[in-house]
Amino acid sequence: MSVLVDRGTRVVVQGITGHQGTVHTRQMREFGTQVVAGVTPGKGGTRVEEVPVFDSVRDAVSATGANASCIFVPAPFAKDALLEAVDAGIRLAVIVTEHIPFHDMLVMYHYARERGTRIIGPNCPGIASPGGSKVGIIPNVVFRPGRVGVISRSGTLTYEIVNGIKEHGLGQSTCIGLGGDPVVGTSFVDALPLFESDPDTDLLVLVGEIGGTAEEEAAEYIRRSFSKPVVAYIAGRSAPPGKRMGHAGAIISRGKGTADSKVAALEGAGARVARFPYEVPLMVAELAAARVRA
């Protein structure tokens, strides 16, 4: 079992004929993902990386049974791409695109949620379950199958920490990159119950960063409802007060969203919180070994 994606996931790539769409279609297929269709209006009837291209998502779903979408469409057109996917019956949409306008994402979020489609992203690396499926751009080489779940707001930190877990002889059940925008389709609190109910996840890594209150909300959920061990890391401890760091969502305001407040909340919920990224795999290995001894 895995979280949200598995061997049965059938992916349509929106924007497949662009450079990023083409490159990551190839890499998703190398990972083992069933990429069954691509969509670029006006390019229907062609093929990219041996994948048939359609003019619309509805045509792609009708012909191939696609049930998930990976969206590489440029930001000005991402809203229409997502709405089209939802209307075609897609139930998981991974939006890699960055710089989507705030108001567009608000419309997309509510439209998808009301119709039963889960969004991951935008501005995210996607989701991967080693041995199952990958929808997005996380490098294939950092993974190996295992029993460690990962939820992260940071793209490159995700790669570093997941690779460190692999180098310590462990593997991942599912890794979800949530994205770093102020409004995202799936939050920590949305993802935590999925890993709690996944029998193939023994422990969880949570990678957060300064800005917003997502980590504090996750800590409260962990304290009340999450039974598995958690290792956490919060990026941005050294950020100057009031400084915006990287992601649009990494903004501290009125004393909220600081690294200290997030660390305190997570530690108060029983999580082990690393000071540096390289400590995360060490903590994971210690917890995994203790579980084996028990």
The helix, strand and coil proportions of the chain, stated in percent and rounded to the nearest 5, come to: 35, 25, 40
Q: What is the CATH number of the domain that holds 239?
A: 3.40.50.261
Same domain (yes/no): 233, 196: yes
Is residue 24 among the annotated active site residues? no
Place 249 in a pLDDT band, splitting at 50, 70 and 90.
low
**5 domain-assigned:** no
Q: Which of these three, 68, 87, 120, is where a domain ends?
A: 120
Residue 147 and residue 96 share a domain: no
pLDDT above 80 for 29: yes
Quick one: 50 and 171 in the same domain?
no
Examine residue 157 and state whether it is found in any structural domain, yes or no.
Answer: yes
> Among residues of the chain, what percentage have pLDDT more than 70?
92
Mean per-residue pLDDT of the chain: 93
Query: Is residue 56 situated within a structural domain?
Result: yes
pLDDT band at 258 (very low <50, low <70, confident <90, very high): confident
pLDDT of residue 53: 98
Which of 92, 120, 148 is where one domain is finished? 120
Q: What percent of the chain has pLDDT over 90?
A: 86
What confidence tens digit (pLDDT) does each residue in 203-244 have? 999 999 988 899 999 999 999 999 999 999 999 776 666 555
148 and 198, same domain (yes or no) = yes
- pLDDT score of 246: 53
Q: What is the pLDDT of residues 37-75, one digit of tens each?
A: 999 999 999 999 999 999 999 999 999 999 999 999 999
Shared domain check, 243 and 102: no
Active-site entry in 24, 99, 110, 247: 247
pLDDT tens string 166-206: 999 999 999 999 998 989 999 999 999 999 999 999 999 99
Whether residue 265 sits in one domain with residue 179: yes
* Integer-rounded Cα radius of gyration of the chain: 19
- Final residue before a domain boundary, out of 120, 154, 188: 120
Contacts of 187 (CB under 8 A, 6+ apart): 178, 214, 217, 218
Please tell me the pTM assigned to this model: 0.94
Q: How much is the average pLDDT of 112-122?
A: 98
Contact 277, 233 (CB under 8 A): yes
**pLDDT above 70 (res 104):** yes
State whether 159 and 273 are in the same domain. Answer: yes
Helix (H/G/I), strand (E/B), else coil: 4: coil
Please state, in angstroms and rounded to a whole number, the distance separating the CA atoms of residues 197 and 138: 24
Question: How many independent structural domains does the chain possess?
Answer: 2
- Domain of residue 29, CATH code: 3.40.50.720
174 and 234 housed in the same domain: yes
131 within some domain: no
pLDDT for position 238: 67
Domain, as residue range, for 43: 10-120
Q: For the stretch 39-51, what's the b/e string if a residue is b when 16 or more beta carbons lie within 10 angstroms of its beta carbon?
A: bbeeeeeeebbeb
- My answer on whether 256 and 149 are in the same domain is yes
